[in-house]
Amino acid sequence: MNAPSGTDAPTRIHRVIARLNVGGPAIHVVLLSRGLEAHGFRTRLLAGEVTEDEGDMAYFAAQREVEVHRLPRLNRTLSPWADFQVFLALLRTFLRERPAVVHTHTAKAGTLGRLAAFLARVPLRVHTYHGHVLGGSYFSPFATRVFLAMERALARITHRIVVLTEDQRREMAEELRIGRRERYRVIPLGLELDPFSPPGPQEEGSVRAEVRRELGLEEETVVVGSVGRLVPVKNHELLLLSIRPLERLLSRRIRLLVVGGGEREAELQERAREWGVEDRVLWLGWRRDLPRLYRAMDVLALPSHDEGTPVAVIEALVAGVPVVARAVGGVPEVLEEGDLGRLVEGDGRDPLALSWAFASALARTLEAPPGEEERERARTSALRRFGVERLCRDMAELYREDLGPEGRG
């Protein structure tokens, strides 16, 4: 199709996400809503509500002057009546406002939003998959089969399917057979990364010492960082099990910084008590000063069962913090197959064996951390591949390819 003329009014996009809870998808939709204005696209962002045990990123949208139009009944809880009401609200909105594009994110918003956009005959219907949820450890086998059938049906009414990594496209199109391969487009995550770039060496040392004093950490303490939601797929148990093996390997005291909150916080704290490592863990909850906190870390650990594109890994690369991560989902692609960080293989069926493997990988990284040249190479790669300007440019190009002048809203 021909690209829309640049002399007309901005093209209208309705972007729908289930909720702005802490994580990559919320960051993604807010940055797109703001950044696409420079490319001739005006976005209306529609989102549901977070639940009490989730961190709310509404502040992130407010800071960037992105208005969020709330869908009060849309959340992660399955409720047929509430979901039907959300569907009707979306259908009425699309029929009334006639957007040129409806672009959905996350599973429930993708289901309700695409069905409503199809019935409203929206010219371009796009959905982004932010993770490897259908082939991983999120659902039971029965639930996975049900969701797969639903996604295959939805793919038939979706013009474009956006994924974040090549591995994700291969899995979705070839293994799971969700939609035709030609409908897929790989557009990696884009983030505001400048705040994570380290200051000069003198200032960096000063910030590191300051943050460690605030947290009650001595300079000689080895600090392992974890950043993310406290939910089952993030597999924080592996980190807790790795603490004692790591201390034996290094003959040094370890402190684990757990940044984030979620439904498993109390359960994980109880696990730490049961396993005798509660005094090794600092539970920091949700924080808005992540660039400072990375300065206090000696290594970032990612123990997840599955991942799409982990935001924390990208931030750590830019901050110059070494990364040790399980080789799951899109992680190897982000770390360039281990060139930019240490990957840990293993399927997790033997948690104790995996904890020793993970501890060994952490120990090797801490004993021989990457030099400044390696850190600069990792930083440069992350900035080039995952910057917000690149994200908005890629997405604008996709819309223009698929929208002719008749598709303008």
Render pLDDT for 247-302 as a digit per residue (tens, 0 to 9). Answer: 999 999 999 999 999 999 999 999 999 999 999 999 999 999 999 999 999 999 99
Q: What integer is the mean pLDDT of 13-38?
A: 95
- Kindly state the tokens that stand for 325: 């991560």
Asked if the model's pLDDT at residue 123 lies above 80, the reply is: yes
Q: What is the pLDDT of residues 315-372, one digit of tens each?
A: 999 999 999 999 998 899 999 999 999 999 988 889 999 999 999 999 999 999 999 9
Residues 41-67, mean pLDDT to the nearest whole number: 92
Residues 44, 69 contacting (CB under 8 angstroms): yes
Domain borders along the chain are 11-192+387-407, 195-385
pLDDT at residue 408, rounded to an integer:
43
| Residues 18/107, Cβ–Cβ less than 8 Å | yes
Q: Same CATH topology for 11-192+387-407 and 195-385?
A: yes
Name the nearest CA neighbour of 26 among 2, 11, 47, 44. 47
Task: List, in order, residues 6 or more apart from 155 with CB less than 8 Å away.
Answer: 161, 178, 179, 180, 183
Average model confidence (pLDDT) across the chain? 92
The alpha helices in 275-407, defined as continuous H runs, are 290-295, 311-319, 331-334, 351-367, 372-386, 388-402
Of the chain, the percentage scoring pLDDT greater than 70 comes to 95
* DSSP output for 188-240: ---B--GGGS---HHHHHHHHHHHHHHHT--TTSEEEEEES--SGGG-HHHHH
pLDDT at 76: 78
Architecture of domain 11-192+387-407: 3-Layer(aba) Sandwich (3.40)
* C-alpha 242: how far from chain center: 24
- Predicted local distance difference test score (pLDDT) of residue 369: 96
Contact yes or no for 286/261 (Cβ under 8 A): yes
Considering the domain 195-385 in this protein, what is its CATH number? 3.40.50.2000
Token pair of 352, please?
């104790």
| Residue 296 to residue 5: CA distance in whole angstroms | 50
- Residue 139 pLDDT: 64
Mean pLDDT value of segment 238-245: 97
- DSSP 3-state assignment of 200? coil
Q: Does the pLDDT at position 135 exceed 60?
A: no
Interatomic CA distance for residues 53 and 201, integer angstroms: 38
